[in-house]
Amino acid sequence: MKAIAITGQGGLDRVQYLEVERPRLGPQEVLIETRAVALNHLDLFVRNNLDTLKLSTPHVAGADGAGVVAEVGPDVRTIKPGDRVLINPALNCGVCEFCQAGEQSLCVRLGIMGESCPGTFAEYFKVPQDNVHPVPEGFSWEEAAALPLVFVTAWRMLISKAAIKPGEDILILGIGGGVSTAVLQIVKALGVRAFVTSGSDDKLQLAKKLGADAGINYKTQDFAREIRTLTDRRGVDVVVDSVGGDSYAKSLASLVKGGRLVTCGSTAGARPQTDLQRIFWNQLSVFGSTMGNRREFVEMLNFVRKRGVKPVIDQMFPLPDGAHAFGRMEEGKQFGKIVLNVNGNT
């Protein structure tokens, strides 16, 4: 079968469309004939850290995917060939203390499709049966593929960690990203006032169309100062910061006393300067968050279904053009999710 595979650690030339072996099914696994897959920042991370991750080459990338069930292992009961499915990309051991307690994203052996095993960027991919969910009604293949990773990450950050409430104010950094657009869509459905930052005025305009209440260009403005102006000096209740780097101290400075910061990423740097005095004097809470547990995944699916929320698709490429898709993400041009269409996508 054909796949977008990484042939070694390095640049875009290491992202290639080539022939790889079709996955062989274990007893509790499901083989999916792919219709669409979506990129995540994780895919760039995997390509840049292939050696540390100890992955063999060519390595099929990709965490997110959706398609039609082609085959099921002998112990699979509830899923059948022909089902239209999307996947939860988080892989867990099922036996550690955290898995036993239903906190799968804390699993001591947590893995992700395309990061700890072959991924979804291929004509077929396989996943454990517990990772398979029906595509919500009315979703296109592109929307089904684009939804899982960023929406479950956003859901856990907002609901389980920050416990955001209607009437509160939020600041979302780097609104062009997949996680950030998902966060914006969820909080607008919840009745939260949302401020966003971006390095692009065009993206700030697109964010306003999605419901953002105000936008700040982090390249030309000091966003912490702007947030004080926008909130009558008060600050916001919650900051979702998946950027890190120089933004982190400004994120803390944007919070109201007693405010909450949630981080799931460090696109601009993982070891930023912080401000302990501000954290203790203003009694701020800082939450780390990664993906979500199974209950949160189902809650998220129910939420988008009931509220009619669908992921923002930035651009679609055919699978053979996967390297161009990687390039678009690397240059930070996207607003929302970059998707690859596979197998004619019908």
Ligand X SMILES: NC(=O)c1ccc[n+]([C@@H]2O[C@H](COP(=O)([O-])OP(=O)(O)OC[C@H]3O[C@@H](n4cnc5c(N)ncnc54)[C@H](OP(=O)(O)O)[C@@H]3O)[C@@H](O)[C@H]2O)c1
Q: Which residues bind ligand X (CB under 6 A)?
A: 40-42, 45, 149-150, 153, 173-179, 198-200, 203, 218, 242-243, 245, 247, 264-268, 290-291, 329, 332, 334
DSSP state of 158: I
Say if residue 89 is preceded by a cis peptide, omega within 30 of 0: no
Output the smallest distance, CB 44 to ligand X, in A.
7
Output the smallest distance, CB 19 to ligand X, in A.
28
Query: Which CB sits closer to ligand X, 16 or 315?
Result: 315
Output the smallest distance, CB 307 to Zn ion, in A.
31
Taking the C-alpha atoms of 170, 174, 178 and 183 in order, what is their torsion angle to the nearest 10 degrees?
0
Q: Specify burial of residue 234 (Cβ count, 10 A radius: 0-12, 13-18, 19+).
A: middle
Q: Which residues contact 22 (CB under 8 A, 6 or more apart)?
A: 1, 123, 124
Q: Which does 265 bind (CB under 5 to 8 A by kind): ligand X, Zn ion, none?
A: ligand X
Which residue ranges make up the site for Zn ion (CB under 5 A)?
92-93, 96, 99, 107
Output the smallest distance, CB 338 to ligand X, in A.
8
DSSP state of 12: G
74: closest CA among 26, 112, 122, 40? 26
Query: Which CB sits closer to ligand X, 43 or 168?
Result: 43
Q: Which does 107 bind (CB under 5 to 8 A by kind): Zn ion, ligand X, none?
A: Zn ion
Query: Which CB sits closer to Zn ion, 41 or 294?
Result: 294
Q: Which does 318 bind (CB under 5 to 8 A by kind): ligand X, Zn ion, none?
A: none
Query: Which CB sits closer to ligand X, 136 or 177?
Result: 177
Output the smallest distance, CB 81 to ligand X, in A.
31
Query: Where on the phi/psi map is residue 299: left (φ > 0), alpha (ψ -120 to 50), or beta?
Result: alpha
Query: Do 195 and 172 contact (CB within 8 A), yes or no?
Result: yes
DSSP state of 167: T
Query: Which CB sits closer to Zn ion, 92 or 197?
Result: 92
Q: Which does 96 bind (CB under 5 to 8 A by kind): Zn ion, ligand X, none?
A: Zn ion
Based on its alpha-carbon atoms, the radius of gyration of the chain, rounded to whole angstroms, reads 20
